[in-house]
């Protein structure tokens, strides 16, 4: 079969990223331009600033990626883009750029759901085997997804309130850590001990998650300790919070694997960079004869390589968009 080279664009949040991926698995070149330093001083992503920065950067990042891969548009078979979910202004920049290239160079346009991208980051590590369960843990999602084959997504559970990355970021702020909070909590937890008593969130027989109660428990604890004039043991609180999150993610994921008789697990999304989550899942999967795949650190947080990997399988499935493609702030993975 002919090799397929896809130029993929990702701009759903605060990273402007472009990648060229061969056959859904081989990264030819990727450029990620992060705006993290700009948003850090505001304590979170400012959507207006993010979309303006994407506009400034998108053409530069596309050209840089082609140069890095020593390729030109003639070498590219299709253009892929994250159309949603995400920040609408940010998404629009990527979608407009992709539609323009598709039109000018007469290339097929492939729409990619951001979460499909996160899941397919695993295909850059090794060919995905089915059926599998995907644990999606990002700033906007906490999902358990059953896949019986490529590009077949059955959501079996999700979050009822805050996404897990959002909970990490909010708790980090409450205990005085800078944005983005997830990596800070991860790092700090190695200096701490699990000494604070916090509830295991939504510890039931469903596959739903809920992190707002745990977040509130941390806020109340900090508030009460301050009122009593006590110092917060930052590292201990980071460790205790992170352990409860990892406990429930692992418990429900392992149960899903068992109940669905699946022995392949992939982890996806920014929180899959979390060292404790990775280590704990590795140990549990080894014990239970489950094959675990986690993305390399560079593919955990937002990047266009994962979009290019997903796009290849969408392309094989015949998915195409025309110039009416629009960005969608929210959208179900299907």
Query: Which residues here bind Zn ion, judged by CB under 5 A?
Result: 138, 302
Whole-number Å distance between alpha carbons of 33 and 289 = 39
* Residue 180 contact among ligand KG4, Zn ion, none, beta carbon within 5 to 8 Å by kind: ligand KG4
Q: Is 109 left (phi over 0), alpha (psi -120 to 50) or beta?
A: beta
CB of 181: closest distance to ligand KG4 in angstroms?
A: 5
- The entry of ligand KG4, Zn ion, none near residue 10 (CB within 5 to 8 angstroms by kind) is none
> Which of 5, 168, 241, 312 is close enough to bind ligand KG4 by CB under 6 A?
168
Smallest separation (angstroms) from ligand KG4 to the CB of 280:
13
Phi-psi region of 22 (alpha: psi -120 to 50; beta: other; left: phi over 0): beta
Closest CA to 285 of 259, 256, 264: 264
CB closer to Zn ion out of 217 and 309: 309
Binds 306, which of ligand KG4, Zn ion, none (CB < 5 to 8 A, cut-off by type)? none
Region 2-41 residues binding ligand KG4, contact defined as CB under 6 A: 13
The item of Zn ion, ligand KG4, none sharing an interface with residue 35, based on CB under 5 to 8 Å by kind, is: none
* Partner in contact with 312, chosen from Zn ion, ligand KG4, none, beta carbon below 5 to 8 Å by kind: none
Q: Which is nearer to ligand KG4, 11 or 102 (CB)?
A: 11
> Which of the stretches 143-151, 207-215, 266-274, 314-322 binds ligand KG4 when contact is defined by CB under 6 A?
266-274
Does 235 engage in binding with ligand KG4 (CB under 6 A)?
no
> Interaction with ligand KG4 in 71-130: which residues (CB under 6 A)?
none
Contact between 159 and 165 under an 8 Å Cβ cutoff? The reply is no
Q: How far is the CB of 238 from Zn ion (least distance, A)?
A: 22
Based on CB atoms, which residue is closest to Zn ion, 192 or 269?
Answer: 269
Q: Which does 271 bind (CB under 5 to 8 A by kind): Zn ion, ligand KG4, none?
A: ligand KG4
Kindly indicate which of the ranges 87-95, 121-129, 154-162, 177-185 contains the residues binding ligand KG4, using the contact rule CB under 6 A: 177-185
Using the rule CB under 6 A, which residue among 302, 310, 313, 315 binds ligand KG4? Answer: 302
Whole-number minimum distance, CB 295 to ligand KG4, in Å? 10
Considering only residues 58, 244, 301, 306, which one is a binding residue for ligand KG4 as defined by CB under 6 A? 301
Instruction: Name residues contacting ligand KG4, limited to 122-141 (CB under 6 A).
Output: 138-140
HEC per residue, the chain: CCCCEEEEEECCCCEEEEEEEECCCEEEEEEEEECHHHHHCCCCCCHHHHHHHHHHHHHHHHHHHHHHCCCCHHHCCEEEEEEECCCHHHHHHHHHHHHHHHHHHCCCEEEEEHHHHHHHHHHHCCCCCCCEEEEEECCCCEEEEEECCCCCCEEEECECCCCHHHHHHHHHHHCCCCCCHHHHHHHHHHHCCCCCCCCCCCCCCCCCECCHHHHHHHHHHHHHHHHCCCCCCHHHHHHHHHHHHHHHHHHHHHHHHHHCCCCEEEEECHHHHCHHHHHHHHHHHHHHCCEEECCCHHHHCCCHHHHHHHHHHHHHCCCCECCCCCCCCCCCCC
By rule CB under 6 A, what count of residues binds ligand KG4? 19
Token pair belonging to 2: 């002919």
Q: Which of residues 179-198 bind ligand KG4 (CB under 6 A)?
A: 180-183, 186
Residues that bind ligand KG4 (CB under 6 A): 13, 138-140, 165, 168-169, 180-183, 186, 269-271, 273-274, 301-302
């Amino acid at each position: 079969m002919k090799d397929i080279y896809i130029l993929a664009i990702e701009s759903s949040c605060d990273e402007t990223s472009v990648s060229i991926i061969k056959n859904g698995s081989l990264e030819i070149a990727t450029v990620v331009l992060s705006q993290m330093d700009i948003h850090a001083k505001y304590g979170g992503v400012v959507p207006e600033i993010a979309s303006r920065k994407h506009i400034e950067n998108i053409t530069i990042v596309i050209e840089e990626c082609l140069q890095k891969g020593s390729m030109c548009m003639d070498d590219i078979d299709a253009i892929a883009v994250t159309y949603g979910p995400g920040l609408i202004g940010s998404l629009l920049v990527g979608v407009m750029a992709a539609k323009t290239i598709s039109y000018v160079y007469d290339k097929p346009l492939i729409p990619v759901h951001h979460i499909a991208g996160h899941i397919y980051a695993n295909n850059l590590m090794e060919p995905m085997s089915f059926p599998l369960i995907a644990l999606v843990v990002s700033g906007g999602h906490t999902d358990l997804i059953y896949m019986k084959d490529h590009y077949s997504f059955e959501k079996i559970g999700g979050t009822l309130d805050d996404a897990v990355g959002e909970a990490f970021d909010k708790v980090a702020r409450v205990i005085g850590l800078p944005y983005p909070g997830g990596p800070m909590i991860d790092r700090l937890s190695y200096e701490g001990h699990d000494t604070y008593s916090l509830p295991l969130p939504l510890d039931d027989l469903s596959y739903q998650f809920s992190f707002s109660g745990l977040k509130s428990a941390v806020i109340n604890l900090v508030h009460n300790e301050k009122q009593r004039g006590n110092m917060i043991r930052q590292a201990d609180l980071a460790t205790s919070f992170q352990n409860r999150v990892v406990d429930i993610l692992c418990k429900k994921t392992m149960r899903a694997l068992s109940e669905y008789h699946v022995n392949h697990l992939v982890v996806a999304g920014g929180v899959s960079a979390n060292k404790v989550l990775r280590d704990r899942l590795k140990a549990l999967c080894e014990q239970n004869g489950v094959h675990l795949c986690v993305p390399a650190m560079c593919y955990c947080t937002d990047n266009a390589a994962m979009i290019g990997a997903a796009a290849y399988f969408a392309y094989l499935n015949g998915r195409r968009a025309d110039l009416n493609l629009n960005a969608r702030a929210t959208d179900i993975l299907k």
